[in-house]
Amino acid sequence: MIAVDTNILVYAHRPDMPFHEQAKAVVRRLAEGDEPWAIPWACIHEFLAIVSHPKIFVQPTPMAEALRQVALWMASPTMQLAGEGKGYFPVLQNILERSTVAGPKIHDARIVAICVSNGVGELWSADRDFSRFTLDLNVRCPF
């Protein structure tokens, strides 16, 4: 199963972002395809925080529009929301004990642990920070 990271979601949603057309196409392909795919809840929260932030965008996305976008992704019959379940903490613990991440990079480890504990095999992201977790999860940029 493929999971989609925040930056791909932001690129797909905001026409003023680099890679907008490519991101929109890959998310649409997942949403309209037959294979299961996932968005971690942590990425949903981060997407909402980023696109609506007035210090990031001169014209931020109104919250109602951002929520509509999330609802559209959630309407895909093959999309699964991935969160912290019973098996999450041991996975996170293992990842953190083997890595050198601390501080804000714990968020990236959280996303990886959510993916791994939910059976995700590949995370699509344009964030190179995930390269430190390749022992745990296949991470690639889809464009």
Express each pLDDT in 89-130 by its tens digit.
999 999 999 988 999 999 999 999 999 999 999 999 999 989
Q: Quick one: pLDDT at residue 132?
A: 87
Q: Taking the domains of the chain in order of start, what are their residue ranges?
A: 2-140
What residue type is assigned to position 124 of the chain?
Answer: W
Contact predicate 5/120, CB 8 Å: no
3-state secondary structure 75-139: CCCCEEEECCCCCHHHHHHHHHHHCCCCHHHHHHHHHHHHHHHCCCCEEECCCHHHHHHCCCCEE
The distance of Cα 41 from the centroid of its chain, to the nearest Å, equals 8
Q: Quick one: pLDDT at residue 136?
A: 83
pTM (predicted TM-score): 0.94
Q: Quick one: pLDDT at residue 135?
A: 81
Contact predicate 108/140, CB 8 Å: no
2-140 CATH choice from 3.40.640.10, 3.40.50.970, 3.30.470.10, 3.40.50.1010: 3.40.50.1010
Q: Quick one: pLDDT at residue 100?
A: 84
What residues in the chain have per-residue pLDDT under 50? none
